[in-house]
Amino acid sequence: MSRSLHKAHRTTPCTNYHPHIGIITTCIVLLFSIIPNIAAADQLTVYSGRAERLIKPALDEFTAKTGIQIALLSSGTTELVNRMKAEGDRSPADVFITNDAGSLELARTAGLFRPLSMREIERAIPPQFRATDNSWIGLSGRFWIITYNTRMVKPDQIKSLLDLADPIWKGKLAIPNAGSEYLHAGVSVIRASIGDDRTKKFLEGLRDNAGTQVYQKSSQIVEAVAKGQVALGIVNHYYVYRHLATQPASPIAVVMPDQQEGGMGAIMNVAGIGVLKHTPRVEQAKLLVEFLVAQAGQKIFADLDKEYPLHPEVQADQALVERKSFRAAMVPLAKLAELRAPTLRLIEEVGMR
Amino acid sequence: MIAVRPSSLSSLQLVALASAALVLLPLIYITTLALSADPAVWSRLWTTRVPELLWNTISLACAVVLLALVLGVSTAWIVTRCEFPGRRLWEVALVLPLAMPTFVLAYVFNYLLGFGGPVEALWQMLAGPQARIFSPQSFLGVTVVMGLATFPFIYLLTRSALLNFNVSFEEIARTCGASPLRRIISVTLPLLRPSIVAGVALVILYVVSDFGAVSLLRYQTLTYAVFQQMTGQLDNQAASILSVLLVILALLFLVTERWFRRKSRFYQTAGRYRAPQRIRCNWLQTVGLTASLAMILGAAFGVPVCLLILWSLSPEALVILDARFFGFVWNSAVLATLAATAGVLIGLPLAYLASRKPTWLNTGCLQAAYAGYVLPGPVAALAVLVLCLNLIPVVYGTVLVLIIAYVLHFLPAGLQSLEPAIQQITPNLEEVARTLGLSARETVRQVTLPLIRNGIIVAWVLIFLQTMKELPATLLLRPVGFDTLAIRVWLEASEEYYQLAAPSALLIVLVGLPALGLLLSRDWRAA
């Protein structure tokens, strides 16, 4: 082959060099990496730390009513807070929904939320369930309860959460894992009520009694108790009632703990919502908040999720323990945020899984 | 050797350097993050979690290796040294468990061995209503699941060693009057040692970096702990500390394996090779062998797949086969295609340079690319995350971050088939092409690339498959609403919605099967 021929061949435009493949691939990758941002143009993006089954029906109803589409990212609460902090103003999220007031308050102090002043909120949600500047708003209430298998435990055997540290329950107790926000919130409340030293002893007892029965999901704890794999479990109340709604014959019941004279009261937390500061879709986001705090939205949380609605005029499900019949621990929700760092340290010190 | 044109070389070299940097930077970043962490965090972790996690991880690795060795070596010996009806079929079928991701196997076993599950019900019929079997969510349970998932690695390597084995060694031992047991212990097993050690190393790295099974079976290992720290804590200090420990652990295993291999080199004597004679089995032995093979394969593949099919056909599962489901399929396919293509494109220059111009720089780049071996999924995710946040925050939350993490994590798998493919073609061919007047680029395009095509295909398929199954990095880095099949399986299975997880799981297994065939025919038999 002559030198000139080879040169001519080399410059033929149709030859497919492999660097070209690289360029094309890079383009494709870049194209795909932009897609999420394009998609976000005409719809509301919701980051949700709640189980998808518990929040999607409410969001679907919102879409059906207003025509506003919603992109939902369901993931861990703390993971999402970290993510929003990292994403800053570029975050695709418009709205953050989660199941822990402490995390909502942390997101507020990190400057992620936009304070809302809306008459609808003031009217529907009592002030103790909102941030001071209304940058997050509670949507539904939940209580730490002790659930037990009726074939294995008698209801009068347990009065207080603190009883669960008793060695007689060794190997019979299921607890949430050390990363779950509702454990953090609960331990924070216990610390605020009985002090760090007693809390530490309590957690050590809990750790030893639970052994390997440490679960990622509350629904798994309820399953384990219902099957008799363990006798007792600590969960948020609505998981038990949701289970009973589908399987009424299940041998499972609820103790509302710490109601005795001088007891600390039941540990309450709320699921809530915040609108992100940078979002250009404030109007749509406000519509979503308005929908969720109004009676229709609150009813979804009450009927479907079996939570306690925060709207005073909406009734909780009949099966639940009447809200007026028990008292909640006296720790303000917003305080959960500042309590959290030392709580995490304590949980780590005890070496919970 | 004719020098390759300097300009094209330097651009290739730049690419190789950039890829090495892509791999090393996250590793360096994560180490600095760990070293700069508050000493209080270090000491708290050391006194509480670290001893338990280290013990759990190491003891699990040892137990799984033992189980996988027993299963792998014995099955390999059976199919190579015994002659019985159906032998050829078993020979191929024993690879099937490799198509089963650990999280799928774990979730099926969660049901099978679970409290009140079918196996326990069966056992209670035999041993009385109060009898309990071991829980799948225990050391023993995780060991069984991981052992069943990994024994084919050892099976494959031992089998090919046994096939290439010169029987004269055994025969000499026999003529010298050694008993059968003595022959196995002092001749056969030592000769198999290099391939067994290679298999063991594969299994250990697999166990140490596994996330799917340990998370679903709630068994605390370092890898799982890194993930939990990342999702449960407001900063990544503790996660980075545990990550560094994990990297060191994996590195230790890797170095030990290399050392072992160097210490024990065996050479087959040239010529006089004779294939071993297979033991003819009578019908009783045949039944026994078939039953035991069927039990192993049934537990590792048959029963799980049957259950997945059954669950996929249940009404609950059929309901979810809608547009959303096909969106997940599409997401998985797109991610895997992009990652595989990017991996091959990045791997090629590295492997090419290291074999054609083995300067310290080029081989160094190649070795650096192998660092992905010691970066389990959550660690790779953490590394890419902190790096992207600090250097290119714009890409955070996009597909690009995921692709970087995949390439980082799976590049070694790709390189392992690219490297030998390139080494096998002699540079003479390229030199001839150059003397005949082709330019350097044309030589690559018309001579080198066609010759290493098979290696490229295998590398691509390997990365594609691994990406399809990848779980922790995808969980941590995926863009909004960008769920993959693997994520759906994990999410549904972790809430024990067995039926809802089944279609996605079945699809992952099915996609893996033809690829397995490809690997069997090209890669392993050549090895």
pLDDT digits (tens, 9 = 90+) for B119-167: 888 888 888 777 778 888 889 999 999 999 999 989 988 888 888 777 7
Q: Which residues face B279 on adjacent strands?
A: B82
Residue A275 lies in a domain: yes
Best probe of the A interface among B495, B496, B498, B500, by most A CBs < 10 A, is B495
% of chain B at pLDDT higher than 90: 29
Lowest mean pLDDT across A226-230, A345-349, B270-274, B291-295: B270-274
Q: What interface predicted TM-score (ipTM) does this complex get?
A: 0.70
Residue A172 lies inside a defined structural domain of this protein = yes
**Neighbour-count burial of A262, counting CB atoms closer than 10 A to its CB (0-12 exposed, 13-18 middle, 19+ buried):** exposed
Residue A35 has pLDDT above 60, yes or no: no
Chain B nearest-CA distance from A58, in A, is 17
Based on the domain organization, do A127 and A156 belong to the same domain?
no
Q: Which residue of B has its CA nearest to A80?
A: B231
Structural contact between residues A195 and A203, judged by C-beta atoms closer than 8 angstroms: no
CB B100 within 8 A of CB B304: yes
Both A124 and A176 in one domain: the answer is no
Q: Which of A27, A33, A85 to mutate to test the interface with B (most CBs of B within 10 A)?
A: A33
For residue A333, give how far its alpha carbon lies from the nearest alpha carbon of chain B (Å).
19
| Å between B93 CA and nearest CA of chain A | 35
Report the residue from B234, B395, B475 with minimal CB separation from A33. B395
Q: Do B437 and A2 touch (CB under 8 A)?
A: yes
Confidence band (pLDDT; 50, 70, 90) for B266?
Answer: low
Tell me the shortest Cα–Cα distance from B66 to chain A, in angstroms: 24
Q: B220 to chain A: which residues are within 8 Å by CB? A: 353
- pLDDT tens profile B468-515: 989 999 988 888 778 899 999 998 888 778 889 999 999 999 988 887
State in Å, rounded, how far the first CA of chain B is from the last one. 29
Q: How far apart are CA A56 and CA A51, in angstroms?
A: 9
Higher pLDDT, B174 or A127: A127
Q: Are residues A345 and A211 in the same domain?
A: yes
The residue with tokens 């039953």 is B291
Query: What's the gap in Å between the CA of A53 and the closest CA on chain B?
Result: 11
- Based on the fold, state whether residues A189 and A92 are members of the same structural domain: no
Least CB–CB distance from B48: residue in A93, A177, A351: A351
Task: Decide if A3 and B437 are in contact by the 8 Å CB cutoff.
Answer: yes
What pLDDT, on a 0 to 100 scale, did the predictor assign at position B425?
Answer: 81
Residue A304: both structure tokens together: 């479907």
**Residues from chain A contacting residue B394 (CB–CB below 8 Å):** 90
Instruction: Indicate whether A168 belongs to any domain.
Output: yes
Judging by beta carbons within 10 Å of its beta carbon (0-12, 13-18, 19+), is residue A309 exposed, middle or buried? buried
The reply to whether A334 falls in a domain is no
Question: Which CATH number fits the domain that encloses residue A223?
Answer: 3.40.190.10
Structural tokens at position A83: 């993510």
Is residue A246 a part of any domain in this protein? yes
Q: How far apart are CA A297 and CA A277, in angstroms?
A: 23
Assess contact for A319 and A245: CB atoms under 8 A.
yes
How far apart CA A299 and CA A321 sit, in angstroms, is 17
Domain membership of residue A274 (yes or no) is yes
pLDDT at site B272:
55
Q: Do residues A148 and A231 both lie within one domain? A: yes
3-state SS string for A47-73:
EECCCHHHHHHHHHHHHHHHCCCEEEE
Beta bridge partners of A147: A233, A254
Instruction: Give the closest-approach CA distance of A260 to chain B in angstroms.
Output: 33
Please answer yes or no on whether A6 and B52 come within 8 Å at the CB atom.
Answer: no
SS3 B136: coil
pLDDT at A17: 45
Comparing B518 with A308, which gets the higher pLDDT? A308
Compute the nearest-CA separation of A275 from chain B (Å): 17
- The answer on pLDDT for A269 being more than 60 is yes
Cα nearest neighbour of B224 on chain A: A353
Quick check: is A22 in a domain? no
Count contacts between A and B (CB, < 8 Å): 142
Closest approach of chain A CAs to the CA of B233, in angstroms? 7
Contact check, Cβ <8 Å, A81/B234: yes
**Distance, in angstroms, between A106 CA and closest chain B CA?**
10
Q: In whole angstroms, give the CA distance from residue A95 to residue A227.
A: 38
* Same-domain check for residues A203 and A259: yes
pLDDT value of residue A96 = 96
Assigned token pair, B275:
């294939």
**pLDDT at residue number B524:** 44
What 3-state class would DSSP assign to B195? helix
Tell me how far apart the alpha carbons of residues B23 and B409 are, in angstroms, rounded to a whole number.
9
- Give chain B positions within 8 Å (CB) of A38: none
Spell out the domains of chain B, with CATH numbers in brackets.
1-36+315-527 (1.10.3720.10), 38-312 (1.10.3720.10)
Token look-up 């394009």 returns A38
SS3 A266: strand
Q: What percent of chain A has pLDDT over 70?
A: 88
Q: How many structural domains is chain A composed of?
A: 2
What end-to-end distance do the CA atoms of chain A give, in Å? 72
Q: Would residue A15 count as lying in a domain? A: no
Q: Residues A212, A216, A220, CA angle at the centre, nearest 5°? A: 85
Q: Are A263 and A278 members of one domain?
A: no
**Could you give the CA distance from residue B374 to residue B243 in angstroms, rounded to a whole number?**
10
Distance CA B508, CA B260 (A): 35
One domain, residues A274 and A288: yes
* Least trusted range by pLDDT, from A40-49, A278-287, A328-337: A40-49
Mean pLDDT value across chain A: 86
Query: Radius of gyration over alpha carbons of chain A, in Å?
Result: 25
Average pLDDT, chain B: 85
- Chain B residue closest in CA terms to A184: B232
Candidate from A32, A217, A350 with C-beta closest to B338? A32
Query: Hey, are the CB atoms on A73 and B234 less than 8 Å from each other?
Result: no
Given an 8 Å threshold on Cβ–Cβ distance, is B439 in contact with A215?
Answer: no
**Which position has the token pair 């010691």?**
B374
Question: Does residue A116 share a domain with residue A65?
Answer: yes
Contact A71 B393 (CB under 8 A): no
Q: CB of A78 within 8 A of CB of A344?
A: no
Cβ of B442 and A9 within 8 Å? yes
A129 and A104: one domain?
Answer: yes
Write out pLDDT tens, residues B212-247: 999 988 888 999 989 988 887 777 888 899 999 998
Ramachandran category for residue A176: left, alpha or beta (phi over 0 → left; psi -120 to 50 → alpha): beta
Q: Do A78 and B345 touch (CB under 8 A)?
A: no
CA B131, CA B128: separation in Å to the nearest integer?
Answer: 6
Q: Give exposure, B156-176, as e/b (b: 16+ Cβ within 10 Å).
A: bbbbbbbeebbeebbeebeee
What is d(CA A336, CA A98) in angstroms, rounded to the nearest whole number? 14
A160 and A239 within one domain: yes
Mean pLDDT value of segment B174-192? 83
Whole-prediction pTM value? 0.81
**Cβ B218–A35 below 8 Å, yes or no?**
no
The answer to whether B330 touches B453, Cβ cutoff 8 Å, is no
Note the pLDDT tens digit of each residue in B378-428.
Answer: 888 888 888 888 788 778 778 899 999 999 888 888 888 888 888 888 888
Identity of the residue in A33, A91, A223 whose CB atom sits nearest the CB atom of B399: A33
Which residues in chain B touch residue A91, judged by CB atoms under 8 angstroms apart? 397
CB-closest option in A36, A220, A341 to B397: A36
pLDDT beyond 80 at B526:
no
Closest chain A residue by Cα to residue B339: A29
Q: Name A138's bridge partners.
A: A272
* DSSP type of residue B317: H
Tens of pLDDT along A298-324?
999 999 899 999 999 999 999 999 988
* SS3 of residue A138 by DSSP: strand
CA–CA min distance A234, chain B (Å)? 17
Q: Note down the domain range covering A205.
A: 142-267+341-350
**Given an 8 Å threshold on Cβ–Cβ distance, is A36 in contact with B480?**
yes
CB contact under 8 A, A18 and B445: yes
Q: Are A210 and A83 in a shared domain? A: no
Would the CB atoms of B480 and A92 count as touching at under 8 Å? yes
The answer to whether the CB atoms of A76 and B138 lie below 8 A apart is no
Q: Structure tokens of B242?
A: 């545990």
Examine the pLDDT at A241 and tell me if it is beyond 70.
yes
